[in-house]
Amino acid sequence: MNKILKIGHRGAKGHLAENTLESIKRALEFGVDAIEIDVHRCKTGELVVIHDFTLDRTTNGSGEIAKKTLAELKDLKVEDQFEIPLLIEILELIQGKCAINIELKGLNTATATSEIIKKYIAKKNWKYEDFIVSSFQKNELFQMRKLDENVPLGILSKASVSEAIELGKLLEASAIHPSLGIITRDNVTASQQAGFKVNVWTVNEPQDIERMREFGVDGIISDFPDRLFERK
């Protein structure tokens, strides 16, 4: 049986504020194979790591990320103590330690992400296999594929694995990323037989983790990556 990748969701979201450098460090301490983070493009063009399109849930700010400058975002605090990081800050932190799943959350994120990936491969000793780019936004995935035929793509789905497989074929993707709520033994097998890895999210409860192991998934994305190292 192949090794199942242990992937920290937004770092170690169950332990520390999501998508922060501190949360990523905690995930690294657990020994994860990869971390999953979300990117948005702010008003001044930089890629910042935050999940929502707005600031209200996770920071002491308010409003849309796309309408804020980097300086404005850096003045805010996540859970009253952490900074909103840049994608490049995350890459510098994890270099040589684990892989990264970059979810293109915001609009117009593919081009800037592609440029950063190419730079880190050319100048920072990263390899394409160190990255996987995923998104619910089909336009961003098609743009990423147009810009770079070598970037591994992951098709996110919370509705239909069969539809994700079809889109994956169109995009020559590497993986299907289904939600825990739609995954079955049969659609794991169907995805793998179609040539895709299966990385499932968000799997936190021990019984669900064990079930995903039994299903033979390729990767498990969890808020509590430490639980992925535990066995019954």
Whose tokens are 């808020």? That residue is 223
- Give me the half-sphere count of Cα atoms (radius 13 Å) on the Cβ side of residue 48: 27
CA atoms of 44 and 137, how far apart (whole Å): 22
Number of neighbouring beta carbons within 10 Å of residue 181: 10
CB–CB of 143/112 below 8 Å?
no
**What tokens does 65 get?**
């990320």
The yes-or-no answer on residue 177 being catalytic is no
Strand (E) or helix (H) holding 36: strand 34-41
The yes-or-no answer on residue 40 being catalytic is no
Catalytic residue among 9, 15, 40, 177: 9
Residues belonging to the active site: 9, 51
